[in-house]
């Protein structure tokens, strides 16, 4: 192995700067790369960016290939938001390309915990005399790829709860109507949020009450596939509902109870799982979704479904649009009807971020003990 000059303060400062650029770039793949991670790559020589790339969509070129394939200059530094792969997958190992292009130094934000990589990419580069550094931008990289990290570590989709709620925590008015608790801006945010996920889930009650399409209509998500998941224990949803339309681009996945397995499947992706006192067993639903390669799930409600996910602590993040309306009422649907009997047991969200919109506030926070 070669003897390398020691790393300098200047190197460290540049590493942070160029990694930030690579991370921003990686986020352009948001919503399109799953179950793969989002990855950004920046190639630098003498403080100047020579080329860059990012993983645009599942099955397309890796970020490293985009950044390096047309480059002829040796002795560069490559900034990568995730460790490069060293195995044959849908594409050849990225480490081979890095070695072939005579890159001098590789800086990665974090190790890829995928068991097929997990440090082997870095080891291979080092074995070929390429200096490597791991760590700059690591926290941001883990945040950007939180769906991927949960999925790869636990084989369960990353679950985000989403709802538009009144200031007093209601999903509907006293007569059961939810149109419109949120403002026009809040609704547009909610629609766009769907694009960040592989799948979206709603309960039988919402499908019947609102007859939603649960599709992607906001600009920026053209061409994206989004799975729509519906919980329908008794398999009784009428085929005339909007949810049965547009299945080519928005495949419909239905879950019913084992007891209803004798009824005809309504869609090719119709699964039968166990049913207990609270409804379909959600752990089985999530397991089946992970088998379909669904790395992230947005749970849009309604009340009973959100209640189940909260009660069973089966979520990682919450994204609630809290409107400036007070609704009240004894029959209005609540976000967490089961509740807790002692304040000490209340669910705490951490790292909450609040953004102001016309007519309300968007809150995104994380479950305290989420595995990510």
Q: How far is CA 295 from CA 94, 101, 103, 130, 319, in A?
A: 23, 33, 33, 33, 17
If binding is defined by CB under 6 A, does position 196 make contact with ligand NAP? no
Phi, psi (rounded to 5 degrees) for 181: -75, -35
User: What number of chain residues touch ligand NAP (CB under 6 A)?
Assistant: 30
Stretch that binds ligand NAP, among 13-21, 47-55, 263-271, 296-304 (CB under 6 A): 296-304
The correct pick among 29, 136, 157, 303 for binding ligand NAP (CB under 6 A) is 303
The correct pick among 279, 316, 322, 323 for binding ligand NAP (CB under 6 A) is 279
Q: How many whole angstroms separate alpha carbon 144 and alpha carbon 26?
A: 8
- In angstroms, give the least distance from the CB of 134 to ligand NAP: 41
Q: Read off the DSSP letter of residue 334.
A: B
Of 322-341, binders to ligand NAP (CB under 6 A) are 333
The correct pick among 37, 40, 164, 186 for binding ligand NAP (CB under 6 A) is 164
Q: Which is nearer to ligand NAP, 295 or 305 (CB)?
A: 305
Q: Would you give the end-to-end CA distance of the chain in angstroms?
A: 36
Alpha helices (runs of H) in 134-277, residue ranges in sequence order = 138-144, 146-154, 184-194, 204-210
The correct pick among 178, 296, 323, 332 for binding ligand NAP (CB under 6 A) is 178
If binding is defined by CB under 6 A, does position 301 make contact with ligand NAP? yes
Alpha helices (runs of H) in 27-179, residue ranges in sequence order = 63-68, 94-100, 120-127, 138-144, 146-154
Q: How far is CA 113 from CA 37, 84, 121, 288, in A?
A: 11, 11, 11, 22
Phi, psi (rounded to 5 degrees) for 186: -65, -40
Q: Tokens representing 267?
A: 């869609």
Q: Which is nearer to ligand NAP, 178 or 296 (CB)?
A: 178
Stretch that binds ligand NAP, among 38-46, 97-105, 128-136, 297-305 (CB under 6 A): 297-305
Side-chain half-sphere CA neighbours of 55 within 13 A = 25
Of 231-250, binders to ligand NAP (CB under 6 A) are 231-234
If binding is defined by CB under 6 A, does position 211 make contact with ligand NAP? no
Is 103:133 a contact under the CB 8 Å cutoff? no
Stretch that binds ligand NAP, among 81-89, 95-103, 301-309, 352-360 (CB under 6 A): 301-309
If binding is defined by CB under 6 A, does position 229 make contact with ligand NAP? no
The correct pick among 26, 132, 206, 332 for binding ligand NAP (CB under 6 A) is 206
If binding is defined by CB under 6 A, does position 205 make contact with ligand NAP? yes
Q: How many whole angstroms separate alpha carbon 44 and alpha carbon 292?
A: 39
Q: How many whole angstroms separate alpha carbon 328 and alpha carbon 320?
A: 18
3-state secondary structure of 123: helix
Q: Which of 64, 83, 300, 317 is the catalytic position?
A: 64
Binding string, residues 17-36; x marks residues near ligand NAP by CB under 6 A: --------------------
Q: How far is CA 144 from CA 42, 147, 319, 356, in A?
A: 17, 8, 16, 22
Q: Which is nearer to ligand NAP, 34 or 232 (CB)?
A: 232
The correct pick among 304, 334, 347, 364 for binding ligand NAP (CB under 6 A) is 304
Q: Is 64 a catalytic residue?
A: yes
Radius of gyration of the chain measured on its C-alpha atoms: 23
Binding string, residues 122-161; x marks residues near ligand NAP by CB under 6 A: ----------------------------------------
User: Which are the catalytic amino acids?
Assistant: 64
Catalog residues that contact ligand NAP under the rule CB under 6 A: 163-164, 171-172, 176, 178, 181, 202-206, 209-210, 231-234, 278-280, 282, 300-305, 308, 333
């Amino acid at each position: 192995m070669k003897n390398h000059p020691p790393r300098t303060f200047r190197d460290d400062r540049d590493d942070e700067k160029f990694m930030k650029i690579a991370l921003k770039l990686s986020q352009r793949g948001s919503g399109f790369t799953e179950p793969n991670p989002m990855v950004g790559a920046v190639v630098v020589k003498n403080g100047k960016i020579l080329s860059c790339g990012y993983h645009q969509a599942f099955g397309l070129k890796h970020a490293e290939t985009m950044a390096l394939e047309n480059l002829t200059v040796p002795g560069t530094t490559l900034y990568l938001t995730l460790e490069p792969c060293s195995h044959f997958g849908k594409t050849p190992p990225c480490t081979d390309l890095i070695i072939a292009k005579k890159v001098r130094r590789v800086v990665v934000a974090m190790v890829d915990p995928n068991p097929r990589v997990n440090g082997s990419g870095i080891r291979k580069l080092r074995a070929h005399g390429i200096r490597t550094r791991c760590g700059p931008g690591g926290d941001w990289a883990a945040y950007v790829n939180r769906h991927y990290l949960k999925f790869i570590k636990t084989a369960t989709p990353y679950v985000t709860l989403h709802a538009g709620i009144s200031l007093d925590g209601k999903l509907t008015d006293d007569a059961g109507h939810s149109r419109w608790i949120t403002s026009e801006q809040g609704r547009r945010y909610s629609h766009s949020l769907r694009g960040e996920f592989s799948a979206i889930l709603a309960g039988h009650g919402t499908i019947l009450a609102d007859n939603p399409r649960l599709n992607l209509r906001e600009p920026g998500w053209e061409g994206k596939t989004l799975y729509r998941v519906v919980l329908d224990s008794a398999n009784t949803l009428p085929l005339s509902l909007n949810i049965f339309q547009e299945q080519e681009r928005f495949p419909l996945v239905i879950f019913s109870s084992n007891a209803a397995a004798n009824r005809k499947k309504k869609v090719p992706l119709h699964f039968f799982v166990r049913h207990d006192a609270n409804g379909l067993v959600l752990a089985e639903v999530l397991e089946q979704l992970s088998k379909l390669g669904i790395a992230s799930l947005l749970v849009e409600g309604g009340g009973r479904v959100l209640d189940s996910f909260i009660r069973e602590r089966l979520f990682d993040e919450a994204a609630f649009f809290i409107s400036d309306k007070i609704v009240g009422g004894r029959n209005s649907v609540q976000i967490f009807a089961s509740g807790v009997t002692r304040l000490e047991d209340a669910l705490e969200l951490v790292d909450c971020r609040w953004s102001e919109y016309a007519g309300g506030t968007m809150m995104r926070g994380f479950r305290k003990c989420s595995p990510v």
